[in-house]
Amino acid sequence: MRFLKLFVLLFVIQTQAQQGGMWIPSLLKGMNETEMKNLGMKMSIKEIYDVNQSSLKDAVPHFNGGCTSEVISPKGLILTNHHCGFSQIQSHSTVENDYLTDGFWAYKMEDELPNENLYVTFIVKIEDVTSAVLEGTASLTNEAEKQNKIQENIAMLSRTLPKEKWQENKIRTFYEGNQYMLFVTETFTDVRLVGAPPSSIGKFGSDTDNWVWPRHTGDFSLFRIYADKNNRPAAYSKDNVPYTPKHFLPISLDGVTEDDFTIVFGYPGKTNEYLPSVAIEQIVNELNPAKIEIRDRALKVADSYMRKDNAIKIQYASKYAGIANYWKKWIGETQGLKKSNAIAIKKESEKIFQTKVAKAGKEKEYGSLLADFNKNYAEIAPYALARDYFQEVVQRNTELLSVGYRLYLLEQVYKSNGEQSFNDRKNNLITALSGFYKNFNLNVDQNVFEQLIELYSKKSPKQFLPQSLTNIDAKNLATEIYSKSRLRSYEDLKELLTGDAKTVLANLNKDKAFQLVKELADKYSTEVAPKYDEINLTITALQRTYMKAQLELNKDSRIFPDANSTLRVTYGKVKGYEPKDATIYTPVTYLEGVMEKYIPGDYEFDVPSKLIDLYNAKDYGMYGENGKLPVNFIGTNHTTGGNSGSPAIDANGNLIGLNFDRVWEGTMSDIYYDPSICRNIMVDVRYILFIMDKYAGAKNLIEELKLVHPKKAKTLKTKTIKQK
């Protein structure tokens, strides 16, 4: 009887315990296989990750360092999100040829558009290299020395560990410095734009619907990888040929139902699941509110111009989306952390931790960790806040100041490395900034400046504020700087940068915008950054020990490492949720919902007339389901920024969807994952195919794909067996 109880309990834990998690593909065998099979997976782990045979991982490249993509044809066709390809789509767009508004489709390979600075990276293999990385560090007690030695070891190992000459070795840390993994990678740089729906499909609902369920966005775009004649990475050349992948994903036309098993395979960027409660308090009460307020103001200014002027709308579309995205996420995250009682729950588990430490007799090693966290977080608070103000106002949201900051760094290079380095950097900067000025509008930025510099002077910690900013008239300052600074235009700037280092620097130092940046940056780099870095180093070391302690004291629970932009597997089920009292969200949306949201002519909710026609005719072809066309669905997969563009894969390894977002109530999952409300949002792959085929008429692309019907195939098979 007791056995039975235990068995039932274990079974319940195995099938229901979905605490989220982003798992390392090479370690699934021991850690996750049973749970995955219990949830409905039909594949073997080797089909997901294998070094010698082709496996799913060979179809999932990192897209441009920040998103994920997947190979869906034998000719190197890849799928990612519209918002991941957004700046490429934008860069080919003009007011006359506006691919953002109208979409873009290459009906022949010759029409595919090359992209400078776009790359995709495949993982060849993953190996644990912890002991080699930590060699010679055990005796070092000084944290900075220890980190230097680790960096030295990493550099040496990356150089010497075996790889082919077109490959790269990259070493990344897991569990906050308790484990190190080697990734052998291959990076392709000739990646061309193949297709994108109009923004009214690819970005339908725009910022209003961003981070929100129910959702109706066709957030996808298509690219193609090109390789040299030997199928190896090569710089762009018209002689390059479509890449032949080791594996590409078949696409299932069967669709999803609630409780279907799903895997999301991709490159989650960064999570902080193991922070102490004091750190979360700081995020909720201080850092998030400050950043939200800054971006709130910047966005309002940009929005007012974009609504009036189409050229500005194109110039600022990508930047606006980027700023708005995290602005909104921080709002959701702050709310979610409060609503889910994350801080109280963490505090409770910290008490339990403390008891466990005592029980295990580990007080000497781990007993003071939590008190040390408290002390260090209190100490870092003003520095962290000042740092956020500097980064948000100077480096990110006021464009003129961000150029000024790059020039400030140029001056630093001259001071530390001399004329030659100065010239190299100057020339690079001139090239890099030509793209910047193409999308720069002086009026927009002057207004942003006025708003943000006022916040800076009123709300950033007083002790780090330059004298000249303590009492300002923001409007006057804005007029003064924006009418006089030579950073106003590319031509002026190029002229300003003409001559030898001495001349350039003398002229720069006469520029009003540069002078202001220099004052801010000097203050920041002498009084904020060094102290911040110093305390942060201590916190990082504490976090490493805290992680080690948790791994040691919770041997029988599985603990996943925080995301770090490396390839991970997360899995779960298609599932709805209850966002609030008396409200139930079902897991699939349909084209009907697009039409419900339709606002003619609106910049967020307009619908292209051709889509309306297809809807009225119910012309869904093989992509519909009982007379309806599925658009998006949600699941319990634990994802984060970077998972955008990740394939959602069924129990058999076929593509069923394209990950692109999370739900509003669950945006705090980077810090605290609550399985009852955290959901990821995916585009149903049939909506993507429908748009490619019926909307765009890109039959050429549909023909490249391998479309399958696993469920139907199964019923057919059982029928034949029964007949026998």
Q: Does 278 bind ligand ARG (CB under 6 A)?
A: no
Q: Does 642 bind ligand ASP (CB under 6 A)?
A: yes
Write the DSSP string, 669-708: GGT---TTT--EEEEEHHHHHHIIIIIT--HHHHTTS-EE
Residue 60: contacted member of ligand ASP, ligand ARG, none (CB under 5 to 8 Å, by partner type):
none
Q: Does 639 bind ligand ASP (CB under 6 A)?
A: yes
Site string for ligand ARG, 206-245 (x = CB under 6 A): xx--xx----------------------------------
- Residue 93: Cβ within 10 Å count: 18
Least separation, in Å, of the C-beta of 67 and ligand ARG? Answer: 8
Q: Does 64 bind ligand ARG (CB under 6 A)?
A: no
For 551, phi then psi, to 5°, come to -65, -40
Residue 639: contacted member of ligand ARG, ligand ASP, none (CB under 5 to 8 Å, by partner type):
ligand ASP
Residue whose structure tokens are 């030579």: 486
Given the complex with ligand ARG, which of 243 and 660 has the nearer CB atom? 660
Residue 206: contacted member of ligand ASP, ligand ARG, none (CB under 5 to 8 Å, by partner type):
ligand ARG
- Residue 463: Cβ within 10 Å count: 10
Q: How far apart are CA 296 and CA 284, in angstroms?
A: 17
Which one of 115-123, 126-134, 145-153, 202-210 is the stretch in contact with ligand ARG (CB under 6 A)?
Answer: 202-210
Which one of 134-142, 150-158, 450-458, 639-647 is the stretch in contact with ligand ASP (CB under 6 A)?
Answer: 639-647
Question: Which residue's CB comes closest to ligand ASP?
Answer: 644
Please say whether the dihedral angle defined by the alpha carbons of residues 173, 174, 179 and 183, taken in this order, is positive or negative: negative
| Segment 86 to 145, residues that bind ligand ARG, using CB under 6 A | none
Given the complex with ligand ASP, which of 153 and 640 has the nearer CB atom? 640
For 211, phi then psi, to 5°, come to 65, 25
Number of residues binding to ligand ASP, judged by CB under 6 A:
10
Closest alpha carbon to 443 in 317, 306, 325: 306
Residue 640: contacted member of ligand ARG, ligand ASP, none (CB under 5 to 8 Å, by partner type):
ligand ASP
DSSP state of 625: B
Q: How far apart are CA 299 and CA 57, in angstroms?
A: 38
Given the complex with ligand ARG, which of 185 and 640 has the nearer CB atom? 640
Residue 210: contacted member of ligand ASP, ligand ARG, none (CB under 5 to 8 Å, by partner type):
ligand ARG
Q: Does 662 bind ligand ASP (CB under 6 A)?
A: yes
Residue whose structure tokens are 């889910």: 340
Number of residues binding to ligand ARG, judged by CB under 6 A:
12
Q: How far apart are CA 187 and CA 694, in angstroms?
A: 34
Residue 643: contacted member of ligand ARG, ligand ASP, none (CB under 5 to 8 Å, by partner type):
ligand ASP
Q: Does 86 bind ligand ASP (CB under 6 A)?
A: no
The terminus-to-terminus CA distance of the chain in angstroms comes to 42
Residue 199: contacted member of ligand ASP, ligand ARG, none (CB under 5 to 8 Å, by partner type):
none
Do residues 627 and 618 lie in contact, with contact meaning Cβ atoms separated by under 8 Å? Answer: yes
Closest alpha carbon to 634 in 211, 17, 151: 211
Q: Does 321 bind ligand ARG (CB under 6 A)?
A: yes
| Segment 647 to 666, residues that bind ligand ARG, using CB under 6 A | 660-661
Q: Does 684 bind ligand ASP (CB under 6 A)?
A: no
Q: Does 624 bind ligand ASP (CB under 6 A)?
A: no
Closest alpha carbon to 54 in 653, 680, 516, 475: 653
| Segment 54 to 83, residues that bind ligand ASP, using CB under 6 A | 67
Near ligand ASP by CB under 6 A: residue from 173, 550, 640, 652: 640
The contacts found for 149-158 with CB under 8 angstroms, 24 or more apart, are 154/180, 157/129, 157/132, 157/133, 157/182
Given the complex with ligand ASP, which of 23 and 660 has the nearer CB atom? 660
Near ligand ARG by CB under 6 A: residue from 62, 75, 83, 297: 83
Write the DSSP string, 375-415: HHHHHHHHHHHHHHHIIIIIIII-HHHHHHHHHHHHHHHHH
Q: Does 641 bind ligand ASP (CB under 6 A)?
A: yes
Given the complex with ligand ARG, which of 633 and 660 has the nearer CB atom? 660
Is the peptide bond prior to 461 cis by the omega test (within 30 degrees of 0)? no
Structure tokens that stand for 24 in this block: 């390392």
β-strands 70-71, 77-80: how paired? antiparallel
Given the complex with ligand ARG, which of 228 and 604 has the nearer CB atom? 604
Do residues 565 and 271 lie in contact, with contact meaning Cβ atoms separated by under 8 Å? Answer: no
What is the SS3 assignment for 152? helix
Given the complex with ligand ASP, which of 67 and 278 has the nearer CB atom? 67
Just list the catalytic residues: 83, 219, 644
Structure tokens that stand for 256 in this block: 């999803």
Q: How far apart are CA 181 and CA 626, in angstroms?
A: 47
Q: Does 317 bind ligand ARG (CB under 6 A)?
A: no
Q: How far apart are CA 454 and CA 474, in angstroms?
A: 6
Least separation, in Å, of the C-beta of 322 and ligand ARG? Answer: 7
Least separation, in Å, of the C-beta of 636 and ligand ARG? Answer: 18
Which one of 5-13, 224-232, 321-329, 714-722 is the stretch in contact with ligand ARG (CB under 6 A)?
Answer: 321-329
Residue 324: contacted member of ligand ARG, ligand ASP, none (CB under 5 to 8 Å, by partner type):
ligand ARG
Whole-angstrom Cα Rg for the chain = 27
Q: Does 391 bind ligand ARG (CB under 6 A)?
A: no
Structure tokens that stand for 393 in this block: 């106002």
Q: Does 644 bind ligand ASP (CB under 6 A)?
A: yes
Q: How many helices (H) and strands (E) are present in the chain, helices listed first?
A: 29, 23
Question: Which positions touch ligand ASP (CB under 6 A)?
Answer: 67, 639-644, 660-662
